[in-house]
Amino acid sequence: MNDINVGQFFDALTDDYTAVIERCFPRYREMLWGLLDYLPHGRTFDSVLELGCGTGNLSVLFREAMPDATIHLVDISGESLEVCQSRFRSPHRHTFQQCDFRDLSFADGSFDLVVSSIAIHHLNSVEKQALFGNVLKWLADDGVFCFADQCAGETDDLYTRHIENWKKLAMSAGSSTAEWEMWMQHMADHDHHDTLGVQMGWLKDVGFSIVDCPWRYLLWSVIQARK
């Protein structure tokens, strides 16, 4: 992963990110709902870590659902972090950090909940496994890790068909050929898609006790793991 270029790519998209992602993936909001709605009911999450907060679309949903939680937001794009911070009228419960996931360090048991949306796929397979192990340590007992991301198909044919159907979906929502080619170039340069099954296996291997996929469409999946 070329970390500087990843940051620059999302810096350039900051002003229009939400409109662009909703054209690229019209079920984006539904995916975020799936991440939030399937969190364990009756649980209080006082301390939350968001990996790859971007301009704050998921962050805002968490603030509405958990107004008393303290949220630490991390992103590699400084401009995206600035936009995210500007969306909160009461930032005293939020802390913001510009950082590569691979360089993060927190004390064991620091968070009740760790979340992420369309960010972890920028790590390669080895780096994902290392992050999963770190998240397990950063979580308090009975903590939850839930993330939405792109996954490869279990076969090359399925993966190709996912991409083909994704393109049809994006074009029907108003994406242009140039915009689609931009995403495909970004994917070729920076994305590392592992299968859903492999990633769920890694989560179990590092020590998560319950791992499930409550929502999925084409490449996109919501994965939940409980400590």
pTM above the 0.85 mark? yes
Picking from 11-15, 65-69, 118-122, 156-160, which range would have the lowest pLDDT averaged per residue? 11-15
Q: Where are the domains of the chain?
A: 3-226
Report the alpha-carbon angle 141-148-181, nearest 5. Answer: 155
Q: Phi and psi (nearest 5°) for 205?
A: -65, -35
Please tell me the predicted confidence (pLDDT) of residue 25: 87
pLDDT-derived band at 203 (thresholds 50, 70, 90) equals: very high
Question: b/e per residue, 101-111, with b = 16+ CB within 10 A?
Answer: beebeeeeeeb
Give yes or no for a contact between 23 and 179, defined as CB atoms under 8 angstroms apart: yes
Please tell me the predicted confidence (pLDDT) of residue 105: 97
State the CATH class of domain 3-226. Answer: alpha beta
pLDDT tens for 38-85 read 999 988 899 999 999 988 999 999 888 988 999 999 999 888 899 888
